[in-house]
Amino acid sequence: MNIWKFYGVTHRDHLVMNPTSEAKTNEFISLLPLKPNARVLDIASGKGEQLLRIVDKYDATGIGIDISPYEVKAANGRASDRNLGDKVEFIEGDGAKHDFEPASFDLAMCLGASWVWGGHKGTIEALKKLVNPGGLIVLGEPYKLKEPSDAYRELEPELAEGLVTHAENVAIGQNAGLNLLYSIVSDHNDWDRYEGLRLRAAELYAEENPNDPDAKPILDRQRGEHDFYLKHGRDTLGWAIYLFRAP
Ligand SMILES: C[S@@+](CC[C@H](N)C(=O)[O-])C[C@H]1O[C@@H](n2cnc3c(N)ncnc32)[C@H](O)[C@@H]1O
């Protein structure tokens, strides 16, 4: 099974590929102190929804990069459907390897993919280089609600190892010289919806595509991930979007 197909199928009914609700997504976008014609970069842009809304609202221009050909194709389709094709471009590639011009963006964001630079701190350092002085850095990052159990550590060793609290995520940004402007946190309802839509999508995909040899592996994997979420993830993992200003 192609892993990008797995994520494409299991997120087919999502607006965005993280637990932030639509209302909270709109809230963080409405709170961006961006001027018209701003240049915006979205690393690991997924479906591209946040970048498209930002470009539309602020009359900005944008570049999104994502490693998944499924997401890039769909995001470019959405851009042209909304007549934003001349203002935003989604490209396929590894966000950490692409050469973006330093200090050339008014906003750089990475929502839910900080592993691209080995974690929250590495992502902050990478994005700091890409924004203009006084530029905005927006990060979507998990945080620790409680200490991960042994079972959690066994199944998600890397994630458990790097998990810090919400306050520590903020402090990592501040220690890197950024000012926190705002943060927005997802609650259990947001998470249940995010995880529930993933399960529903895999169940329906398997029913609708009985001849696809990937349908069963996708469903088996998604059922396992949902079970893990209910037993371990739901009480351990939080999620927030952090809006920082660079010096
Ligand atoms: C959890 S999703 C978040 C997508 C989007 N930022 C959002 O919040 O809706 C993670 C995304 O990271 C992308 N991705 C994973 N590794 C990447 C890499 N090395 N470079 C660029 N994108 C990557 C995946 O294809 C996926 O779209």
How far is residue 238's CA from residue 247's CA, in Å, rounded to a whole number? 28
DSSP H/E element including 64: strand 61-66
Burial zone of 159 (CB within 10 Å; 0-12 exposed, 13-18 middle, 19+ buried):
middle
Task: Give residue 78's pLDDT band: very low, low, confident or very high (50, 70, 90).
Answer: very high
The reported pLDDT for the residue numbered 54 is 98
- Work out the mean pLDDT of the chain and round it to a whole number: 96
Mean pLDDT, residues 170-190: 98
Q: pLDDT tens digit string along 98-127?
A: 999 999 999 999 999 999 999 999 999 999
CB neighbours of 114 closer than 8 A, spacing ≥ 6? Answer: 120, 122, 123, 139, 141
CA angle 9, 18, 36 (to 5 degrees): 115
- CATH number for 15-146+157-187+238-245: choose from 3.40.50.150, 3.20.20.480, 1.10.510.10, 2.40.30.170: 3.40.50.150
Question: Is the pLDDT at 226 greater than 90, yes or no?
Answer: yes
Whether pTM > 0.85 for this model: the answer is: yes
The best mutation among 2, 63, 66, 198 to test binding of ligand 1, ranked by most ligand atoms within 8 Å of the C-beta, falls on 66
Mean pLDDT, residues 50-58: 98
68 lines ligand 1 (CB under 6 A): yes
Domain boundaries, given as residue ranges, for the chain: 15-146+157-187+238-245
Question: Is the pLDDT at 1 greater than 90, yes or no?
Answer: no
The best mutation among 45, 71, 109 to test binding of ligand 1, ranked by most ligand atoms within 8 Å of the C-beta, falls on 45
199 lines ligand 1 (CB under 6 A): no
Distance 67 CA to ligand 1 centre (A): 7
66 lines ligand 1 (CB under 6 A): yes
Q: Which atom of ligand 1 is nearest to the CA of 94?
A: 20
Question: Is the pLDDT at 234 greater than 90, yes or no?
Answer: yes
